[in-house]
């Protein structure tokens, strides 16, 4: 044990942040020193150095990235924690490439910050960043919601590693995009990224697809074939829809992962490969394990790092950003002017459930670019399938089916909260948003549409904390 208290230096132009951090770190038994700007910090660094540095990214004068570059070139190998309000994937990864240890988006939790400092101090010296920044284009991932920030942080944190990652999330939530980002921000970025959707290939062919085969291994095997595992050598193999693999193949996959070698179908020579595996599924793999549909040992091998891509309805604040991005994209594809979205139409789209998640939104943007007559998409332009029109309960069995599925899944997962306590507020919120959108924000009219008095509507909006 080190008898000396940890010495932490904080660089942030925001006095409130410095104060909060100093209090918290000192409360945890550390000593601190704070700097309002990077320059005095550089000067101090010439005389003395701390155990851990916490720095803001955006500051007047030299910024946090400059702080990291200086620390890096000092050769001290100091761990750095980067805090920033402008949390996006690129700056996260840029920060890690510069040798940072952790990434903390503002507003942060004080306890989390203290825990990060401990971790950073324990990790101690890090090897200098000498891998080149990948030149490949990063597919643009949009997300300011906390759940997406968590995804970005994990991608950043993994940018120097080749660990196995399991990505789970509903269909259309961006699992493949995450897999690509992981690869592009890894030391293997310049090596192959090989994707294989295990459900897209007939079960009898899947084995040879994965491991290749020798000539004559089976009827129709006219020549030798190199499988996906070999193609991905030194790179990344993305195994999509892993939850649907047959038990026999699960066993083989487990062996390859454990031993790093395999045989081609009909082959005698073991083949050694160095492959990073990223797996994805929209199934609940833990449940599949409980029901003996998925091997537990394979599950643990794949589930080294787990990334969950959140459903769009749980990050509604990102809907306007996504609409803006994909309406532009659709306009570019179609050679048209990008459409704007009127506020009542936006309210409808924000309130929509998006069962197909971002993929459904991408398609909706294409469709609306073609079908909306004016330069601005109106509520009346939104089709029933996207929550517009005159959907009646009886006319939308999808609606109640979806609800029944949801209830069933919660019971299945043993979620504690009573069904109605969770569902009723959501139900009311959806109806209120829709009525308000229709009524162009006029509460009197919206209340009439809902069948409530105006006061009830006002009270409900307050109780449900609806942000309109």
Residue 364 binds ligand ATP (CB under 6 A): no
Question: How far apart are the C-alpha atoms of 443 and 239, rounded to whole Å?
Answer: 50
- Choose which of 32, 159, 282, 369 interacts with ligand ATP (CB under 6 A): 282
Question: How far apart are the C-alpha atoms of 113 and 102, rounded to whole Å?
Answer: 10
Residue 175 binds ligand ATP (CB under 6 A): yes
Residue 147 binds ligand ATP (CB under 6 A): no
Minimum CB distance to ligand ATP smaller for 22 or for 329: 329
Minimum CB distance to Mg ion smaller for 175 or for 460: 175
Minimum CB distance to Mg ion smaller for 197 or for 343: 197
Q: Is the dihedral of CA 19, 21, 27, 29 positive or negative?
A: negative
Residue 88 binds Mg ion (CB under 5 A): no
- Choose which of 25, 30, 358, 386 interacts with ligand ATP (CB under 6 A): 358
What are the tokens at 65? Answer: 């990235």
User: Strand pairing of 165-168 and 305-308?
Assistant: parallel
Minimum CB distance to ligand ATP smaller for 156 or for 172: 172
Q: Are 411 and 417 in contact (CB under 8 A)?
A: no
Q: Are 306 and 158 in contact (CB under 8 A)?
A: no
Query: How far from 284 is each of 33, 289, 293, CA to CA, in Å?
Result: 47, 9, 11
What are the tokens at 141? Answer: 């991932």
What is the DSSP code string of 401-448?
HHHHHHHHHHHHHT-SS-HHHHHHHHHHHHHHHHHHHHTTT-HHHHHH
Nearest to 79 by CA among 117, 110, 36: 117
156-175 positions binding Mg ion, by CB under 5 A: 175
Nearest to 78 by CA among 112, 44, 29: 44
- Choose which of 301, 359, 366, 454 interacts with ligand ATP (CB under 6 A): 359
Residue 230 binds Mg ion (CB under 5 A): no
Minimum CB distance to Mg ion smaller for 212 or for 243: 243
Residue 318 binds Mg ion (CB under 5 A): no
Residue 174 binds ligand ATP (CB under 6 A): yes
Question: How far apart are the C-alpha atoms of 31 and 9, rounded to whole Å?
Answer: 9
Nearest to 460 by CA among 428, 418, 433, 421: 428
- Choose which of 56, 63, 176, 318 interacts with Mg ion (CB under 5 A): 176
Q: Which stretch binds ligand ATP (CB under 6 A): 55-63, 124-132, 225-233, 355-363?
A: 355-363
Residue window 86-125: x/- pattern of binding to ligand ATP, with contact defined by CB under 6 A = ----------------------------------------
Residue 171 binds ligand ATP (CB under 6 A): yes
- Chosen from ligand ATP, Mg ion, none, partner binding at 358 (C-beta under 5 to 8 Å by type): ligand ATP
Burial of 106 (0-12, 13-18, 19+ CB in 10 A): middle
Minimum CB distance to ligand ATP smaller for 62 or for 142: 142
Residue 51 binds ligand ATP (CB under 6 A): no
- Residue appearing with tokens 């971790």: 119
Minimum CB distance to ligand ATP smaller for 239 or for 358: 358
176-195 positions binding ligand ATP, by CB under 6 A: 176-177
- Choose which of 32, 168, 173, 208 interacts with ligand ATP (CB under 6 A): 173
- Choose which of 142, 147, 195, 431 interacts with ligand ATP (CB under 6 A): 142
Nearest to 98 by CA among 156, 137, 140: 156
Please give the angle made by the CA atoms of 9, 12 and 16, to the nearest 5 degrees.
105
Residue 169 binds ligand ATP (CB under 6 A): yes
Residue 141 binds ligand ATP (CB under 6 A): yes
Nearest to 449 by CA among 383, 379, 397, 398: 379
Residue 285 binds ligand ATP (CB under 6 A): no
Positions in the binding site for Mg ion (CB under 5 A): 175-176
Which positions touch ligand ATP (CB under 6 A)? 140-143, 169, 171-177, 282, 309, 358-359, 362
């Amino acid at each position: 044990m080190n008898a000396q208290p940890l010495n932490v230096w904080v660089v942030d132009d925001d006095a409130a942040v410095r104060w909060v951090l100093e209090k918290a770190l000192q409360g945890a038994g550390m000593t601190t020193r704070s700097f309002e700007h990077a320059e005095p910090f550089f000067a101090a660094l010439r005389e003395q150095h701390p155990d851990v540095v916490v720095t803001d990214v955006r500051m007047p004068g030299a910024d946090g990235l400059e702080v990291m570059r200086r620390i890096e070139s000092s050769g001290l190998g100091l761990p750095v924690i980067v805090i920033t309000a402008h949390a996006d994937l690129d700056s996260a990864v840029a920060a890690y490439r510069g040798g940072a240890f952790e990434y903390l988006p503002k507003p942060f939790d004080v306890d989390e910050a203290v825990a990060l400092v401990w971790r950073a101090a324990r990790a101690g010296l890090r090897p200098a960043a000498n891998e080149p920044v990948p030149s490949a284009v990063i597919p643009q991932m949009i997300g300011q919601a906390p759940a997406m920030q968590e995804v970005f942080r994990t991608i950043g944190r993994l940018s120097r590693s080749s660990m196995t990652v399991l990505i789970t999330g509903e269909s259309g939530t961006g699992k493949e995009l995450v897999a690509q980002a992981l690869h592009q921000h890894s030391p293997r970025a310049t090596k192959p990224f090989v994707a294989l959707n295990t459900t897209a290939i007939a079960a009898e062919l899947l084995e040879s697809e994965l491991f290749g085969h020798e000539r004559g291994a089976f009827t129709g095997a006219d020549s030798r074939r190199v499988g996906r595992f070999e193609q991905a050598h030194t790179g990344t193999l993305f195994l999509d829809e892993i939850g649907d693999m047959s038990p026999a193949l699960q066993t083989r996959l487990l062996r390859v992962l454990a031993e790093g070698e395999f045989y081609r179908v009909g082959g005698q020579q073991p083949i050694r490969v160095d492959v990073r595996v990223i797996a994805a599924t929209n199934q609940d793999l833990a449940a599949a394990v409980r029901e003996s549909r998925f091997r537990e040992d394979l599950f643990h091998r794949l589930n080294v790092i787990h990334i969950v891509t959140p459903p769009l309805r749980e990050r509604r604040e990102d809907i306007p950003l996504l609409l803006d991005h994909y309406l532009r994209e659709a306009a570019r594809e179609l050679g048209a002017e990008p459409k704007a979205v009127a506020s009542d139409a936006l309210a409808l789209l924000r309130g929509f459930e998006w069962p197909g998640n971002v993929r459904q939104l991408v398609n909706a943007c294409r469709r609306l670019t073609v079908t909306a007559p004016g330069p601005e998409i109106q509520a009346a332009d939104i089709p029933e399938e996207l929550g517009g029109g005159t959907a009646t309960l009886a006319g939308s069995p999808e609606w109640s089916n979806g609800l029944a599925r949801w209830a069933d899944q919660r019971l299945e997962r043993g979620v504690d909260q009573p069904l109605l306590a969770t569902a009723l507020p959501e139900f009311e919120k959806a109806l209120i948003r829709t009525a308000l959108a229709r009524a162009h924000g006029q509460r009197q009219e919206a209340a009439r549409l809902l069948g409530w008095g105006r006061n009830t509507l006002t009270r409900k909006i307050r109780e449900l904390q609806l942000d309109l």
